[in-house]
Amino acid sequence: MADLVEKTDRYERLLAEALAEIDPVAPEGTPLAAAAAEFEEMAASYLQDGRHFRDGGDLVNALAAFSYGHAWLDAGARIGLFAVPTDGHLFTV
């Protein structure tokens, strides 16, 4: 159980840090800018969902939500919607 608690906390921090570091790079008013906003919104929603699950004692779904949220940001970075730091642990690009 301790491993699940640690991993859930770590993934929450990872998602929160990643959300703080992304920089949408698509020109305003373009479909890519709209996509970037949707990717960011999905990640933020998964962060909120994960916190809700964790507060309710559901660590498995909390971890899944944090992981899915980060996947949205990582995918957005890989397809060029966001400029992100290339060093460190936040992104795989």
- pTM score, two decimals? 0.92
Asked if the structure places residue 92 within a domain, the reply is: no
Work out how many domains the chain is built from and give that number: 1
The verdict on residue 90 lying in a domain is: no
Distance of CA 45 to the CA centre of its chain: 9
The domain that contains 31 carries what CATH number?
1.20.1270.90
Reply yes or no on whether the pLDDT at 90 is more than 90.
Answer: no
List b or e across 68-80, with b for residues whose CB sees 16 or more CB atoms inside 10 angstroms: bbbebbbebbeee
Q: What is the pLDDT of residues 2-12, one digit of tens each?
A: 799 999 999 99
pLDDT at 34: 97
Q: Is residue 91 part of a domain?
A: no
Position 1 pLDDT exceeds 90: no
The answer as to whether 78 is a domain residue is yes
The boundaries of the domain holding residue 78 are 2-83
Q: What is the pLDDT of residue 93?
A: 67
